[in-house]
């Protein structure tokens, strides 16, 4: 039984590592995976925190992959390159402001009334399909057109803020944080590569902040002796294994997506979202 649990968390880590960076909704996949393949050795409270910790592991993969690009103190960069790096961070900080405020304000409400509700899978299905359609429409409208913004450093503060507002939509499960960011960027005429990179960079403070918030809430409730907020050695072991899997797969997936968007459009992800959304509706309508 315990081996089966470890296999489950490895699968969860793999799914997290893939779906966190592709515009297909990691939260939506996690909700569906938990309903279909629940963990028997993990309390619901710990599992909720577990999902955010493996996201933190996925974020660490971004930091490692883009470390030189995001390091303004690198000795191998000249002054102009360092200035560009600082501008990237400025655009990231502007972009995360709306999502940071909305995420903190609505985090518990979304968990209670959407994620944990019986309607959760159908909300996920609806947003998967809706944004899948939007991806297809946007890609076809932009077919054979040039992009006004080729690099992140070409973004204006106003454009960064608009993309940040768009990312607020990702608080609804099934939307996809990376998906909403990329969609908002492309609507402004940002190139696929720049939109994908900006999505990765914005994820660092946003997801790290949300993950630390979740862990902090868990630790606080555990210290207060709240029922359910304890952890076993088995849960800790499962957490470590799931985090390692999420980190390794994330690193591979980031490289894949950056290579993919240089040669292809995001339309394929739109069709995937629609197909998955329809499958979810069919599955939960039959199984319940």
Burial 120-134 (b: 16+ CB within 10 A, else e): bbbbbbbbbbbbbeb
Full-model pTM: 0.83
pLDDT band (50, 70, 90) for residue 228? confident
User: Tens of pLDDT along 232-246?
Assistant: 899 999 999 999 999
Q: Does position 177 have pLDDT exceeding 70, yes or no?
A: yes
Q: Does position 107 have pLDDT exceeding 70, yes or no?
A: no
Q: Determine the 3-state secondary structure of 282 from DSSP.
A: helix
Note the pLDDT of residue 184.
87
Q: Span 40-56, mean pLDDT? A: 88
Closest alpha carbon to 241 in 107, 91, 62, 54: 54
Note the pLDDT of residue 9.
94
Note the pLDDT of residue 115.
52
Q: Does position 105 have pLDDT exceeding 80, yes or no?
A: no
Q: Alpha-carbon distance 88 to 264, whole Å?
A: 25
pLDDT band (50, 70, 90) for residue 191? confident
Domain that holds residue 115: 2-286
Note the pLDDT of residue 10.
95
Q: Alpha-carbon distance 60 to 204, whole Å?
A: 8
Q: Span 139-157, mean pLDDT? A: 84
Q: Span 14-41, mean pLDDT? A: 84
How many domains does the chain contain in total? 1
Residue percentage of the chain with pLDDT more than 90: 34
Note the pLDDT of residue 104.
61
Note the pLDDT of residue 165.
87
Tell me what the pLDDT averaged over the chain comes to: 86
Residue pair 184/95 in contact (Cβ under 8 Å)? The answer is no
């Amino acid at each position: 039984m315990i081996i089966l649990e470890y296999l489950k968390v490895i699968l969860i880590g793999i799914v997290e590592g893939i779906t966190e960076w592709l515009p297909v909704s990691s939260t939506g996949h996690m909700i569906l995976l938990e309903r279909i393949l629940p963990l028997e050795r993990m309390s619901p409270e710990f599992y909720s925190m577990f999902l955010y910790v493996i996201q933190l592991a996925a974020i660490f993969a971004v930091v490692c992959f883009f470390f030189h690009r995001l390091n303004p103190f690198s000795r191998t960069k000249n002054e102009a390159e360092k200035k560009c790096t600082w501008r990237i961070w400025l655009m990231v900080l502007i972009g995360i402001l709306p999502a940071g405020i909305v995420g903190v304000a609505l985090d518990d409400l979304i968990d209670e009334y959407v994620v944990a509700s019986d309607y959760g899978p159908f909300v996920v299905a609806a947003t998967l399909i809706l944004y899948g359609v939007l991806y297809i429409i946007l890609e076809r409208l932009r077919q054979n057109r040039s992009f006004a913004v080729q690099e992140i450093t070409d973004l204006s503060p106003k454009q960064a803020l608009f993309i940040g507002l768009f990312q607020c939509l990702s608080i609804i499960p099934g939307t996809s944080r990376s998906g909403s960011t990329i969609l908002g960027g492309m609507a402004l005429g940002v190139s696929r590569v720049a939109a994908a990179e900006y999505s990765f960079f914005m994820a660092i403070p946003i997801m790290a902040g949300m993950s630390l918030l979740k862990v902090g809430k868990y630790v606080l409730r555990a210290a207060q002796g709240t029922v359910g907020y304890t952890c076993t050695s088995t849960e800790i072991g499962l957490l470590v294994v799931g985090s390692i899997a999420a980190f390794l797969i994330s690193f591979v997936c980031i490289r894949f997506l950056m290579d993919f968007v240089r040669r292809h459009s995001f339309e394929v992800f739109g069709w995937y979202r629609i197909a998955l959304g329809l499958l979810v509706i069919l599955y939960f309508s039959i199984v319940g």
